[in-house]
Amino acid sequence: MIAFLTKRLMHALLVMFIISVIAFAIQDNLGDPIQQMVGQSVPESEREALREQFGLNDPFHVQYLRFAGNALSGDFGTSYFYREPALEVIARHLPATLELVFGATLLIVLLSVPIGVYSAIKPRALLSRFFMGASIIGISIPVFLTAILLIQVFSIGISVSLFPESTAWGAWLNGLLSTDGGMPSFGRGQDLVPVVGHWETNLASLGGLKHLVLPSVALASIMLPLFIRLIRAEMMEVLQSEYVKFARAKGIGVRRIYFLHALKNTMLPVITVGGVQIGTMVAYTILTETVFQWPGMGLMFLDAINRADIPLIVAYLMIVGVIFVVTNTLVDLIYGLVNPTVKLTGKPA
Amino acid sequence: MSTHSSPPAATPAVGRWQRLRDSYLWYSFKRDRGAQLCLATLLALVGMALLAPWLAPTDPYDLAQIDILASELPPFWIEGSDPAYSLGTDAQGRDLWSIILYGTRVSLLIGFGAVLLQALLGVVFGLLAGYLGGRVDALLMRLADIQLSFSTLMVAIVVGAVVKATLGGSFYSDYAILMLILIIGLAEWPQYARTVRASVLAEKRKEYVDAAKVMGLKSRRIMFRHVLPNTLSPIFVISTVQIANAIISEAALSFLGLGMPETHPSLGSLIKAGFDYLQSGAWWITLIPGAFLVVLVLSINLLGDWLRDVMNPRLYKG
pLDDT tens digits, one per residue of B268-285: 888 988 888 888 878 888
Residues of chain A short of pLDDT 70, as ranges, are 1, 30-40, 339-349
At B277 the pLDDT is: 84
d(CA B305, CA B318): 18
ipTM of the shown complex:
0.82
Q: What is the pLDDT of residues B246-259, one digit of tens each?
A: 999 999 999 988 88
At B82 the pLDDT is: 74
Q: Which of A137, A279, A313 sits opposite B154 (nearest CB)?
A: A279
At B6 the pLDDT is: 44
Chain A CB contacts of B302 below 8 Å: 136
d(CA B289, CA B287): 6
At A337 the pLDDT is: 74
Contact (CB<8Å) B153/A305: no
Chain B CB contacts of A276 below 8 Å: 148-149, 151, 318
Contact (CB<8Å) A279/B149: yes
Residue of A nearest to B292 (CA): A141
At A219 the pLDDT is: 92
At A186 the pLDDT is: 78
Which residue of A7, A135, A140, A236 to mutate against B (max B Cβ within 10 Å)? A140
Query: Mean per-residue pLDDT for B284-301?
Result: 90
Other Cβ atoms less than 10 A from the Cβ of A346: the count is 7
In angstroms, what is the C-alpha Rg of chain B? 23
At B5 the pLDDT is: 46
Query: Mean per-residue pLDDT for B85-100?
Result: 81
Instruction: For residue A130, give the 3-state DSSP assignment.
Output: helix
| β-sheet bridge partners, residue A193 | A201
At B93 the pLDDT is: 75
Contact (CB<8Å) B252/A144: yes
| β-sheet bridge partners, residue A196 | A199
Which residue of B135, B140, B142, B154 to mutate against A (max A Cβ within 10 Å)? B154
At A130 the pLDDT is: 92
Chain B CB contacts of A145 below 8 Å: 271, 290, 293-294
Query: Mean per-residue pLDDT for B41-48?
Result: 92
Say yes or no: B271 contacts chain A, CB-CB below 8 A: yes
* Angle B251-B246-B147 from CA coordinates, rounded to 5°: 110
Of the two residues A337 and B6, the one the predictor is more confident about is A337
At A340 the pLDDT is: 63
Q: Are B229 and B5 in contact (CB under 8 A)?
A: yes
Chain B CB contacts of A149 below 8 Å: 287, 290
The least confident of A76-90, A314-328, B12-26, B48-62 is: B12-26
Of the two residues B42 and A23, the one the predictor is more confident about is B42
Residue of A nearest to B146 (CA): A15
| β-sheet bridge partners, residue B95 | B89
- Min distance B258 CA to chain A CA atoms (Å): 10
d(CA A166, CA A106): 44
Sorted by sequence, the CB contacts under 8 Å of residue B226 that are 6+ apart come out as B208, B209, B212, B217
At B286 the pLDDT is: 87
Percent of chain B with pLDDT over 90: 18
Q: Which of B165, B244, B318 sits opposite A30 (nearest CB)?
A: B165
Say yes or no: B166 contacts chain A, CB-CB below 8 A: yes
pLDDT at B40 over 70: yes
Q: Are B234 and B166 in contact (CB under 8 A)?
A: no
- Min distance B284 CA to chain A CA atoms (Å): 11
At B264 the pLDDT is: 85
At B318 the pLDDT is: 32
Q: Are B176 and B250 in contact (CB under 8 A)?
A: no
Query: Mean per-residue pLDDT for B113-133?
Result: 90
Contact (CB<8Å) B244/A140: yes
Chain B CB contacts of A137 below 8 Å: 294, 298
At A38 the pLDDT is: 67
Chain B CB contacts of A30 below 8 Å: 162, 165-166
Q: What is the pLDDT of residues A37-93, one digit of tens each?
A: 666 677 778 777 877 777 777 777 788 888 888 888 878 888 888 888 888 899 889
Contact (CB<8Å) A272/B148: no
Q: Which of B148, B271, B279 sits opposite A145 (nearest CB)?
A: B271
